[in-house]
Structure 1
């Protein structure tokens, strides 16, 4: 754990083949990577940390939930973890399905270790970026929740580029009241300009 209390990035390995799990751990740990291995998708889902910078290396064919189904389940849960799919029985439909759902790569066994290591480093960099973005959106939405209904109305119009006089007319309130609500909304949102507020509102809406 780092000085600020955060856990280091981790590579999650999910494969029902004991030998493959062990070989991946032995490959990655000497590179200074934290690795946690699971024998099934269910075990992984019960044990992973969604708030940690991480990537997932998952086998396609496993008893119960497959690697592709695991990836799709993570997407349903809103996870931002990049996924690398590995398989000893790859085919074109599987690869297409994996890439369409956003898998970072689809690698066939026997694995090219250098390619896998490069993909994992790429995935961890992407994971950090995605997790930081998700945390920013979460913080913005938490601040939005603190706005009163009227402050939110004013904030929406400020974000749309409306001037105070136009906002007062649109909402049927005085210019002074708009100024008060605008000041309160900007302060609660920690926004310095209308453009800054517009960026936050776009991110919170999931359209940025």
Structure 2
């Protein structure tokens, strides 16, 4: 039996700094460590080229010509990327760097930073980025499954997610909409279809799925 497992992709690390010397030295260090280093001279260039859905790390200079590091970081947050950011700051920019960490950046390093500290920060960012990508992918999958349900199935599913029996669910649905009464046997039919489409086996799993998705009262759509 042949081993079909592919080697893991190297970690992609974007180096966004308007200092050419800094970009080249950091890229050489990261390439030597087996990482996929992508040096970029500006925030605008980075935002135009970066794959925001692929896990990775951004080494982001806090102060640059054009877009500042904070402006680039805010743009990343607005776009919902799975990339994680480590700020590079010069002496005297500590307050801004700490504020950025409080807003969700992984860490900040004062330039020049030593090799071990830099690689540790990149490793931490990589772990957080991969975990976020997995959560994002799971949420997308669950949402696609939920949206495969009909509006009526979604209505029934929300009631069943509370753990009630088919008889109790039928009573609740009838009270909510007297013009559309439903009997327990029909609820059972819906339950089977819901479990099949959502790939679950119990009302407990259904309850966790509804909670994970944070479903509002109305139907949820991916687009």
Please report the TM-score for the alignment, with normalisation by the length of structure 1. 0.92
Shift of the alpha carbon at 1:90? Answer: 4.0
Over residues 27-66 of structure 1, what are the superposed CA-to-partner deviations in whole Å (9 max), with x where a residue is unaligned?
1111111111111111111111122121111000111211
SS of the aligned residue for 1:44 comes to helix
The verdict on how the C-alpha distance between 1:13 and 1:161 changes in structure 2, with shifts beyond 3 A counting, is same
State how far apart, in whole Å, the 1-side matches of 2:209 and 2:92 are. Answer: 42
CA RMSD of the aligned region, Å?
2.1
The match for 2:61 among 56, 59, 62 is 59
Pairs aligned (count):
206
State how far apart, in whole Å, the 1-side matches of 2:29 and 2:165 are. Answer: 59
**Matched ranges for 1:5-20 at <5 A:** 7-20=9-22
Shift of the alpha carbon at 1:92? Answer: 4.0
CA contact (8 A) 2:62 2:97 kept: no
State how far apart, in whole Å, the 1-side matches of 2:46 and 2:8 are. Answer: 20
State how far apart, in whole Å, the 2-side matches of 1:204 and 1:8 are. Answer: 31
SS of the aligned residue for 1:130 comes to helix
The verdict on how the C-alpha distance between 1:79 and 1:153 changes in structure 2, with shifts beyond 3 A counting, is same
SS of the aligned residue for 2:98 comes to helix
State how far apart, in whole Å, the 1-side matches of 2:52 and 2:7 are. Answer: 16
Over residues 139-195 of structure 1, what are the superposed CA-to-partner deviations in whole Å (9 max), with x where a residue is unaligned?
111111111111101111222222211110011211011111111111111112222
Residue 184 (structure 1) aligns with:
193
* Structure with greater Cα Rg: 2
Please report the TM-score for the alignment, with normalisation by the length of structure 2. 0.86
* 2:90 paired with 1:81: no
Structure 1 runs not aligned, ≥5 long: none
Shift of the alpha carbon at 1:126? Answer: 1.4
Shift of the alpha carbon at 1:7? Answer: 5.0
Structure 2 runs not aligned, ≥5 long: 175-181, 216-223
State how far apart, in whole Å, the 1-side matches of 2:98 and 2:120 are. Answer: 21
SS of the aligned residue for 2:121 comes to helix
The farther-off stretch of 60-69 and 192-201 is: 192-201
CA contact (8 A) 1:9 1:52 kept: no
CA contact (8 A) 1:7 1:52 kept: no
